[in-house]
């Protein structure tokens, strides 16, 4: 599973109370890709000019991001934006905008980009977003960002494409402008009726909010002593949010509330990281291993006795079994219903806790040792909200290893 992002790749110039940059890498697709690639593979689609050199392409392809669909327009110049932020960093003045090659952007997606199961339509003309959505019919999750300009001059097309996506990401002022409703909640309820299953409202320094048909979740921005440059924070948030979802979608029947809350947290954390330096500087140097750290407890085994041992361990640790997510993993030739029944009996879990089984496809080159009609496959157990337990186990393991290292062999 991969993510495709379609949007602007740019050069920015900014002035903030903390300094200025005359030319730095920017653009919605750039910030999104650098953030999302910390969590999951990304394909980038967007135009650049002759002035976009190998050094910039190297940054864009950080963490093996696929840039095959970055179109270099011969004789053209890359999209350019210049702005000045006020002292509070919440308001800014646009000093210069040069669309350049972006003015005539006609998205061209390769087969790999079209086949991505997750699609992010960054802030471009709604008509172009519609074209891309039609090319990516197989996408399982589609998110969209937009802005006040398109609400003003292309509202009908914007409403049409909103009806074809799963998630709309706008700031709360734009949500009210789009619907004519007086507040975030009534505006979001109106838009949910158009087709999306979720709305993410960006609220700047106050954080963000997630609204679905039956849930609401708000998360404050991460508190920072110093914000250097807010440019690209919204697109970085989207990259963290969508990137985390993409990394967890494989084998899931649906996106649940816990996953959405986790995605909001990742988006918020990466956005706060982004604003501590100019442009993409922070994202370029980010450590994927630190970002991807699971901090959740997962156990998988084919031995029913060991699975029972793990369940007893959770009982002793005070973990309610209702927090378990169970998934059978078995070869496609196996008896899947029988395996599901077997592990239901072992765990005593509610059938609703079992997700769709994960089937291993047949490979002629693989030598299988666990075969036979009675083989029940493996059971994967994931403990929800288990970051604290994970760190406890990590601490116990570290202490045990340290104690083992201090042991001395008896004399003689």
Residue 302's pLDDT is 93
Burial of 48 (0-12, 13-18, 19+ CB in 10 A): buried
Per residue in 153-185, pLDDT tens?
999 999 999 999 999 999 999 999 999 999 999
Nearest partner of 35 among 267, 275, 278, 277, judged by Cα = 267
What b/e sequence results for 58-70 when a residue is b if at least 16 CB atoms lie within 10 Å of its CB, and e otherwise? ebbbbbebbbebb
- Pairwise pLDDT comparison (346 vs 403), residue with the higher score: 346
- pLDDT above 70 covers what percent of the chain? 92
pLDDT at 82 over 70: yes
Residue 20's pLDDT is 95
367 — pLDDT class (breaks 50, 70, 90)? very low
Topology of domain 3-292, CATH: 3.40.1190
pLDDT at 189 over 80: yes
pLDDT at 361 over 90: no
pLDDT at 33 over 70: yes
Residue 222's pLDDT is 85
Mean pLDDT of 16-36: 96
Arithmetic mean of pLDDT over the chain = 90
pLDDT at 249 over 60: yes
- pLDDT above 90 covers what percent of the chain? 73
Mean pLDDT of 331-351: 92
Half-sphere exposure of 391 (CA within 13 A, CB side): 4
pLDDT at 16 over 60: yes
CB 172 within 8 Å of CB 184: yes
pLDDT at 332 over 90: no
Please name the residues in contact with 103: beta carbons below 8 A apart, sequence gap of 6 or more.
none
Residue 296's pLDDT is 75
CB 173 within 8 Å of CB 199: no
- Pairwise pLDDT comparison (395 vs 40), residue with the higher score: 40
CA distance 198 to 215: 9
- Pairwise pLDDT comparison (250 vs 57), residue with the higher score: 57
pLDDT at 199 over 50: yes
98 — pLDDT class (breaks 50, 70, 90)? very high
Mean pLDDT of 355-370: 64
Per residue in 272-307, pLDDT tens?
999 999 999 999 988 777 676 656 789 999 999 999
Residue 226's pLDDT is 86
Location of structure tokens 């998934």:
327
CB 49 within 8 Å of CB 73: yes
Location of structure tokens 């009609």:
373
pLDDT at 372 over 80: no
Residue 175's pLDDT is 97
For the residues of 179-207, what is the DSSP string, one character each?
H--SSHHHHHHHHHTTS-SEEEEE-GGG-
For the residues of 90-118, what is the DSSP string, one character each?
S-EEEEEEE-GGGGG------HHHHT-SE
CA distance 196 to 213: 10
- Strand order in 216-219's β-sheet? 66-72, 42-48, 3-6, 118-121, 141-145, 167-171, 198-202, 208-212, 216-219
Where do the CATH 3.40.1190.20 domains begin and end in the chain? 3-292
pLDDT at 79 over 70: yes
363 — pLDDT class (breaks 50, 70, 90)? low
């Amino acid at each position: 599973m991969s993510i495709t992002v379609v949007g602007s790749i740019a050069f920015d110039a900014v002035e903030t109370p903390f300094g200025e940059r005359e030319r730095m890498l920017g653009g919605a697709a750039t910030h999104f890709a650098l953030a999302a690639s910390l969590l999951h593979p990304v394909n980038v689609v967007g135009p650049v000019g002759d002035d976009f050199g190998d050094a910039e392409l190297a940054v864009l392809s950080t963490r093996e991001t696929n840039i095959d669909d970055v179109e270099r327009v011969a004789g053209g110049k890359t999209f350019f934006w210049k702005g000045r932020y006020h002292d509070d960093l919440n308001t800014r003045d646009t000093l210069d905008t040069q669309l350049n090659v972006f003015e005539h952007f006609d998205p061209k997606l390769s087969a790999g980009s079209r086949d991505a199961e997750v699609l992010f339509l960054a802030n471009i003309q709604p008509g172009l977003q519609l074209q891309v959505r039609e090319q990516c019919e197989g996408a399982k999750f589609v998110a969209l960002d937009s802005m006040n300009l398109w609400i003003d001059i292309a509202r009908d097309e914007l409403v049409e494409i909103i009806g074809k996506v799963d998630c709309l990401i706008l700031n709360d002022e734009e949500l009210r402008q789009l619907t004519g409703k007086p507040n975030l909640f009534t505006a979001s309820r109106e838009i949910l009726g158009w087709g999306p299953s979720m709305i993410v409202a960006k609220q700047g320094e106050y954080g963000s909010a997630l609204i679905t048909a039956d849930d609401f979740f708000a998360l404050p921005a991460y508190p920072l002593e110093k914000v250097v440059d807010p440019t690209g924070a919204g697109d970085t948030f989207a990259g963290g949010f969508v990137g985390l979802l993409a990394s967890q979608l494989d084998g899931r029947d649906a996106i649940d509330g816990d996953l959405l809350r986790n995605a909001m947290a990742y988006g918020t954390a990466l956005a706060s990281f982004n604003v501590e330096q100019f442009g993409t500087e922070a994202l370029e140097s980010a450590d994927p291993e630190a970002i991807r750290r699971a901090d959740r407890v997962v156990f998988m085994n084919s031995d029913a006795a060991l699975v029972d041992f793990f369940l007893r361990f959770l009982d002793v640790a005070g973990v309610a079994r209702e927090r378990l997510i169970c998934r059978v993993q078995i070869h496609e030739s196996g008896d899947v219903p029988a395996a599901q029944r077997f592990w239901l009996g072992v765990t005593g879990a509610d059938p609703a806790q079992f997700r769709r089984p994960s089937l291993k496809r047949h490979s002629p080159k693989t030598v299988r040792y666990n075969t036979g009609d009675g083989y029940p496959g493996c059971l994967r157990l994931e403990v929800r909200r288990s970051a604290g337990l994970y760190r406890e186990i990590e601490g116990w393991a570290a202490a045990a290893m340290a104690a083992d290292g201090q042991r001395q062999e008896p004399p003689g």
